[in-house]
Chains A and B, each alone.
Chain A
Amino acid sequence: MALSPDEVRHVARLARLAIDDAEADALAPMLSGILGDAARVAEVAADDVVPMTHPFDLADITRGDDPVPSLPRDAVLGCAPVVNGQRQVDQDRFMVPRIVAEEG
């Protein structure tokens, strides 16, 4: 159950959380303890049990293919983050720094 600082760093990468070595070292025992408590679920014999994702077995909740008005563009772009007094919007698009990774 124990997570090493390296595993903590790996999980932080997956979760896209910046983390320094001191934090990884501090988090490793804390997260290991929490996971140790949680891992008690392994004591339950549940091999053939269907996992539950919803309290109700609802099905086929859908909507018709009917357009509804979108939000005004300014309302959406107006939510964009502000850095150094500048709203991070350019050419009516959300602006982000250079993307390094390829998409999934």
Chain B
Amino acid sequence: MLPSGWELVVGLEVHVELGTRTKMWCGCSTDFGAEPNTSVCEVCTGQPGALPVPNERAIHDATLLGLALNGGIAPRCWFHRKNYFYPDLPKNYQISQYDVPLVSEGFLEVDVELDGAIVTRRVGIERLHMEEDTGKSLHVGGSGRLHGADRSLIDYNRAGIPLLEIVSHPDIRDPQTAQAYLRELQAIVQALGVSDARMEEGSIRCDANVSVRRFGEQLGTRCEIKNLNSVRSLGRAIDYEAERQVAALEDGTSIVMETRHWDESRGVTETLRRKESVTDYRYFPDPDLVTITRSEQQIEAIRTELPELPAQTRTRLGDSGIAAEQVATIVTGGYVALVDDAVAHGAAPAAAANWVTSDLVGLLAAADRSLTDSGVTGGHLAELLELIDDGTLSTKLAKQVLALLVERGGADGPAAIAEAEGLVQLSDRDALTAIVDQVVADNPDTVAAIRGGNAKAIGALVGQVMKATGGQADPRATNELLRQRIG
């Protein structure tokens, strides 16, 4: 938290690597393993005379994401060259977009928990543009890091992979919103299927522009924070950087516009380079490429491909009676299809959500299995809930059945497991009556206490019945029978 009177201002630049089959400008496959320089050709290694030809699918996917982010799609846009020298950039210019991006002025709404309350924040998106990724450098010798390495080795497999840059407005005022925005963007990209958007693999990357100001004042000088490798480090880095800037300003030191590197292990940001020495990129329209147009009809056709977006899913699930925290777990954890499937098989949404969030998530984590690997289906979940409803399983038994279901990879359904394992609840009145009678007879003191007005003492007797039935007694029926007997 910043000292009172100070306000944090953050804008995010997010890069998303598209999951197309081929690169942006050539037919080299994007599906490559660890073998360096095996998915390269004259185009993506910038050989003399090679020319780029844009990947139609990449432009389509960018348009789809633009629509999902509520952005306007440019009817005509262009590719520009961003000129700078770096060994991982084969042509020493990056093909990007400049004055007219494919998408402009969108927004994203995110729910953030602030001071214990969930509030909705809207973050404006200035632009989304298409560009290309660079190769990967391996710094060897010396310390093995960039500084101190004595040489670098370059692999161009990644060079030319389609990349989208999504630039937010500086609308973010707290680290939680920044984190929620990044998570939401990740969820949308995944829901659209245009990228796997894994931060740890670099297929989604985030830089943060951070500044502070006294309330009511003009925007302060910003610093760009790089090397944010997780949603968590994004939050930590913003916190650190904001405090650093406030401390400096309160100390009378001005903030220098610069790029800073987040050091995850030490939890600090450090100067990477000063902005005044920034390269003059000499953007100009790429003469090797022609105009990209999107007609109204094309845009509307692409719009029809939009799946339900995470925000819509959250609203729908919330409206069906599922609690907000559970909705969040279901959406971010990838359980939407499971819950929908269970409901389609007759389960009550709230009950299905409850079982998923309070039991299934934990079981999967403990077993280190993905939902898909577990073989658990919506049909299984609905069946389990039905067995509880009709009294065949107690909650406790149902948990055991679910654990076995996960363990066995969904080969048998819940009913079959309960049957085979003898986990069926004892609700047969005659059998239960005999046990209840026995317990009443064996515990005259407790019975007397209950009759004397200590209603709570009945719990002890229920426990005795449970013990005698190995946990299979139906608690409701047991309670009922005990009351009848004790009167």
Contacts and interface: CB of A to CB of B under 8 A. Distances in A.
Interface of A: 14, 16, 53-54, 57-68, 70-71, 73, 76-77, 79, 90-99, 101-104
Interface in B102-141: 134, 137-140
Interface string B1-36: 000000000000000000011100011110100011
Contacts of B56: 62-65
Given A92-B37, A103-B86, A104-B94, A59 B291 contact: yes
B326 to A, nearest CB: 38
Interface size class of B (residues with CB under 8 A): 35 or more
B134 A63 contact: no
B232 interface: no
Contacts of A66: 21-22, 27
Interface of B: 20-22, 26-29, 31, 35-42, 45, 47, 53-59, 76, 82, 84-89, 92, 94, 134, 137-140, 142, 146, 149-156, 259, 272-273, 279-282, 285, 287, 289-293
Q: Binding site of A, secondary structure by majority: helix, strand, loop or mixed? A: loop
B87 to A, nearest CB: 5
B89 to A, nearest CB: 8
Given A79-B47, A95-B153, A104-B84, A68 B290 contact: no
A53 B78 CA distance: 11
Q: Binding site of B, secondary structure by majority: helix, strand, loop or mixed? A: loop
Contacts of A70: 28-29, 38-41
Contacts, number: 140
6 contacts: A59-B293, A60-B293, A61-B54, A71-B40, A94-B156, A95-B152
Nearest to B139: A99
Nearest to B53: A63
Contacts of B40: 70-71, 73, 76
Nearest to B272: A102
Q: Nearest 7 A-B pairs (CB), nearest first?
A: A68-B27, A65-B57, A93-B153, A104-B84, A62-B56, A58-B290, A59-B291
Given A67-B27, A96-B87, A104-B281, A59 B57 contact: no
A96 B57 contact: no
Given A53-B287, A96-B151, A62 B53 contact: yes
Nearest to A58: B290
Nearest to B47: A79
A9 to B, nearest CB: 14
Contacts of B290: 54, 58-61
B29 A94 contact: no
A73 B33 CA distance: 14
B268 to A, nearest CB: 18
A58 B54 CA distance: 14
A56 to B, nearest CB: 8
B152 A98 contact: yes
Among B45, B86, B150, B153, chain A packs the most CB atoms within 10 A around the CB of B153
A91 B36 contact: yes
A67 B22 contact: yes
A49 B26 CA distance: 34
A13 to B, nearest CB: 10
B39 A95 contact: no
B172 to A, nearest CB: 25
B151 A61 contact: no
A14 B282 contact: yes
Nearest to B136: A93
Contacts of B151: 90, 95-98
Contact of A71 (B41, B92, B287): B41
A71 B27 contact: no
A67 B154 contact: no
A34 B182 CA distance: 50
Given A60-B292, A93-B153, A96-B152, A67 B28 contact: yes
Contact of B55 (A62, A77, A96, A101): A62
Nearest to A53: B285
A63 B84 CA distance: 27
Given A59-B290, A67-B22, A93-B155, A99 B57 contact: no
Contact of A63 (B55, B86, B87, B140): B55
Contacts of A61: 53-54, 289-290
B149 A60 contact: no
A6 B60 CA distance: 47
Contact of B87 (A79, A99, A102): A99
Contacts of A103: 84, 86, 88-89, 134
